[in-house]
Structure 1
C-alpha cells in the first residue's frame, strides 16, 4: 500500500456523510487494502484542530491504514464540507462528543469501540469523548494538547487568568473569541483567508517576522505581508482556501467562544468524580510549541487510571507535519502495546 501522505482529492479516500443533531458531517475514510488484512484491526477516528481540516492528518492516515486500521477523519463542525452553524452553543465539547459518537456508530454499526486521536482543539475533544462516552473509547492518543480535568470550582474567565499573569500564552484566544478576525478578514475573502492560513501555518514576512504570536494573536499590521507557509505546499494551500471558502471563519472561531459553556456542562462530571480518563492513553508533546508548551502537561499522570504513555517531538505546534515519522512511530508503538495487552 502507498503510505505517502494524502493529497487533495486523493483516490485512497472515500468521503461519507451523516446527519446528527440536525448538522451534516462529512468525513474521510481510509481503509486498509484486503492484501494487508481481511478486516480492519480497529477503527481509528482522527480529530483535527484549528485552523486545520481532516486533511491535517494527511501524513498519518495512510500509515495507519497500512498498519491494518480503518481510519476515519471528519471535517469537524464549522469546517470544510461539514455544516457550520452560527450559534457558538452548537460547538460545546459535550455536543461535539455526541457527534463523534454518532460518527463512530455510523462507521462501525454500533459494533464496538474506537480508538481516538486528536491534535489541538481535536485533542481537547479527544480527551472529552471518553468522559461523556466511556463505553465507546478503547484508547486515545493526543498530540500537543494536555488534558485538564473537569472542575466544579468557581468559573474564572480567561481574561482573569491573563490579567494575573497566568495563561498569557492563550492571549490569542481572546482575539479569536472577540470577532476581530472575521471583521478583518471579511466574508469569504479568498485573499485574506489565504494570508490568515499562511500566517497560522508558520509563514513569515520578507523580513522573517511572523504574522502571529500566542500573546496577541494575528498581527493585522503584518499578516498581509506573510509569504507562503513552510509547512503547506501551494497545492495544499489552494485546497485549504477552497474548503474555507465554503463557510468562512465564523464556524472554526466559534470553538473559542465556548469556554464558559464547556465549564458549566462539565460540573456534573466533577460533582460525580468522573474526571479521570479510564482508557489507555498516549500524549505526544511538541518541545517548541508556544501555544501549548510541554510544561502545561506536568502532573497529567494523576488524571489517568492507567499509566500514561508519553512522547515528545522537537517541533512547533504543527508536529503532524513537521515530524510525521516520529509522531507515527509513537502512535504505532502505542497501538502495538494495546495489541499486546489484549492478548494477555
Structure 2
C-alpha cells in the first residue's frame, strides 16, 4: 500500500507499480466482480486519482473493476522533472504496463478527462486492440497533431473564436510558475474550479494568468465541491507539489508533442471501437467545437451533452455516471 493514501477512497486498494521505464505509479485497483469490464480512469491537471471518487464509488458498487492511477507527476506516483518523460505516447505505454502488471482479465474501457483525454487518445492510436472502448470527458478525442505549433494554434483559435483559449499554457510552462502558484494557491484553485466565462477570459490570453495570480483574485467556488473535498484536494496538492505536474504543459508548449505525433501512422488516427464523448457545454476552454473535426474519426460515437463546466464528472456526476452505465451495458 502506498504511504501517500490520504483517506482517498479506500486506502487499502492502492498499490505501487513499476513500469518498463522504471517509473513507479500509485494505482487504485479494485477487481471486477459482478461485471466483466474494468474501467481505466485517467485524470488530468492539477489533480490525482481522487478526481474519480464519484465514478469509483458508483461503478465498483455495480461490480465493475477500476484501475485509477495517480498520473505521472501527481499524488503518490513518481515526479520526474524531465518534461520529455511526460510525452503522451510514453505515458500511454505506462498505462498498458500497469494493466499488464495487474493481470486484468476481461474487457477494458479507458476514460480520460483533461490531460487524461490525450493519453486515452494515444491508447486508442497505439494500443487500440487492448481496449473494448474509449471515453472522453470535456476534452474530446483529438487526432495526433504532427504539424501545428503552439503559436499557430493560438493564432487560429483567436481567428475562429475571438480569443486565444490556451494562452495560459505559456505561463504554466515558465520556471517561476511553481512558486507563484504555491504562493497564491487559493486564487489559483478558485480560478481552476470556478471555470466560469468571466474568470477563464482573464487567463485565456497570453500574459493574463500572471497578473490574475499576483492580484489574488478570488472567484466563487462551485457548490458541488464540498468544503471537505476542497480540504482534501488542498492536502493532496501541497503533499504532491505542483512543479512536476506543470511538465504536462511543457510537453504541449514545446516541439515534443508534434514530434511524437509524427511517429503515429495516419491509419491509426481512426478509432474503430465505441467512443463516448461527454460534451461540457459551459466549458470555456475546451469548447466542443474544438473537437468536431477529430470526432469524425470515431465512427462508433455516442455523444451526451451536459450543462456543465470543465469538471463535468463532478458537477453532473449522477447524470454522467448513469449515461456511462447505459453506454457500457450496450457495448
Could you say whether these structures have the same fold, taking a TM-score greater than 0.5 normalized by the shorter chain as the test?
yes
The SS at the match of 1:169 is coil
Map 1:96-245; keep pairs closer than 5 Å: 96-109=91-104, 111-152=105-146, 155-164=147-156, 165-166=158-159, 168-186=164-182, 192-202=184-194, 210=199, 213-215=203-205, 216-217=208-209, 219-223=212-216, 225-226=218-219, 230-245=223-238
Larger mean Cα displacement after TM superposition, 210-219 or 172-181: 210-219
Q: Is the 8 A contact 1:201 1:230 kept in 2?
A: no
Q: Which residue of 2 aligns with 1:341?
A: none
Q: How do 1:301-316 and structure 2 match up within 5 A?
A: 301-304=295-298, 306-316=299-309
Take 2:116 and 2:50, find their aligned partners in 1: how far apart are those partners?
13
Aligned equivalent of 1:69, options 64, 67, 85: 64
Structure 1: unaligned runs, 5 residues or longer: 1-6, 339-344
Q: Is the 8 A contact 2:190 2:218 kept in 1?
A: no
- Mapped contact 1:144–1:286 kept (Cα < 8 A): yes
Partner of 1:342: none
After superposition, what is the alpha-carbon deviation per residue over 1:297-339, rounded to whole angstroms, capped at 9, x for unaligned? 22444212x421111100111111111111112211210111x
Q: Please report the TM-score for the alignment, with normalisation by the length of structure 1.
A: 0.83
Residues 194 and 219, structure 2, Cα contact 8 Å, conserved in 1: no
Counterpart of 1:145 in 2: which secondary structure? coil
| TM-score for both structures, normalised by structure 2 | 0.86
Partners of 2:9 and 2:44 in 1: CA distance: 21
The CA distance in 2 between the partners of 1:301 and 1:235, in whole Å, is: 37
Note the C-alpha offset of 1:242.
2.1
SS in 2 for 1:220: helix
CA contact (8 A) 1:301 1:307 kept: no
Distance in 2 (CA, whole Å) between partners of 1:199 and 1:13 is 33
CA distance in 2, matches of 1:234, 1:46: 24
Count of residue pairs brought into register by the alignment: 315
Q: Secondary structure at the match of 2:25?
A: strand
Give the corresponding residue for 2:289.
295
Partner residue in 1 for 2:13: 14
8 A contact 2:145–2:257 mirrored in 1: no
Q: 1:135 to 1:224 in 2, by over 3 A?
A: same
CA contact (8 A) 2:37 2:108 kept: yes
Q: CA RMSD in A?
A: 2.6
The DSSP-based 3-state class of the residue aligned with 1:258 is: helix
Aligned to 1:278: 272
1:233 Cα deviation from its structure 2 partner: 2.4
Comparing 80-89 and 272-281, the one that deviates more: 272-281
Measured at CA, do residues 294 and 151 of structure 1 come closer, stay the same or move farther in structure 2, by a change above 3 Å?
closer
Could you tell me whether the CA contact under 8 Å between 1:104 and 1:114 is conserved in 2?
Answer: no
5+ residue gaps, structure 2, are 1-5
